[in-house]
Amino acid sequence: MSEIMNVEYEVNKELVDKTTEELQIEVNGLYHQMEMIGNIAMMIAANAGQRLLVIKDRLNHGEFESWCESHLDFSKRKAEMMMSLAKRCEEENSLFSKTQTFADLSISKVFALLAAPEEVAVEVVENNDISEMTVRELKEEIADLKSQNTEIGELKNRIKELEQEKQEPGASSDELEKRDKEIEELKEKLKKEKEKLKKSKSDTDEEVKKALEDARVELDREIEKAVATAKVQAKAENMKTEEELSKARAEVEKLNAAVASGEVLTAFRINVNNLQLTFNECMNQLGQMDKESAEKFKGALKKIITTELETLSK
């Protein structure tokens, strides 16, 4: 793998000897390989980009877009990204010439970095574990850094302009001294802006960590509260059911007393009426329980009724 990733991306001389149709077939084949293979996708994309550069050079000005639409299995935008990658890989000081940096990245992440300014891409790679980031997180990080680097970029451009002005002939010693002083002031300001940017990123990371920790603590509290509430409700439902059973037993004892005193008919009517009331109340209580508790006590009630019906049938 290391041998593959360390290949220098130079245009193969044999490419110019191939027909456009042959190159087209190879480009589409490499594209599909790129889609399927993750950690060597960059190499494949750069190889496809080399071939696309040869094809584009053969076409007349303005024909490349229509050629892409007619001959490629992917968009012109992706073709341009692959060509750009092929060029950047050949630049000695480019981030993309260090292919091992991208060994474990998907092609989508490589393209996201490719679309960013070189200095932004370098900073993102140096300060983040890109392999652990999603493509969306990577793009957001790049966008944030580009925004924060606006003033830094302006300072760098101004310093560059002053350095070039120093090389122009005819400048007096006072003018050169003035420019040197301005350059030093700008460099100092640039240094402070970079430090502020670094501190801002550090503070943001700490805020994110604290927010995540607070969210976890709050979630744990909510879970504990929900569990405690469920236990209290279950206990209350059990107490209500036990109370109903106690009332039923008391009515049975009252009936026994009525039978013993000879008031059988009156006692029977009272008991049937109370039995109906008790049954209705039990049904009402079942409707107020959670599903699991209701099924549990409904099964117990069915057993009681079944047993009594069997007794009644004897």
> pLDDT digit string (tens) for 182-199?
777 777 776 777 676 666
Rounded to the nearest integer, the mean pLDDT of the chain is 75
* Burial class (CB within 10 angstroms; exposed 0-12, middle 13-18, buried 19+) of 71: middle
Q: What is the pTM of this model?
A: 0.43
Structure-block tokens of residue 4: 């593959």
Mean pLDDT to the nearest integer, 238-267: 64
Mean pLDDT to the nearest integer, 28-46: 75
**Higher confidence at residue 267 or residue 181?**
181
What pLDDT does 80 receive? 94
What pLDDT does 64 receive? 94
Mean pLDDT to the nearest integer, 17-43: 79
Structure-block tokens of residue 193: 């802006």
- What would you measure as the largest C-alpha separation in the chain, in angstroms? 135
Spatial separation of the C-alpha atoms in residues 72 and 28, rounded to whole Å: 6
Run of H or E residues at 19:
none
Spatial separation of the C-alpha atoms in residues 68 and 54, rounded to whole Å: 13
Write out pLDDT tens, residues 201-223.
665 566 656 666 776 777 677 76
Mean pLDDT to the nearest integer, 58-73: 94
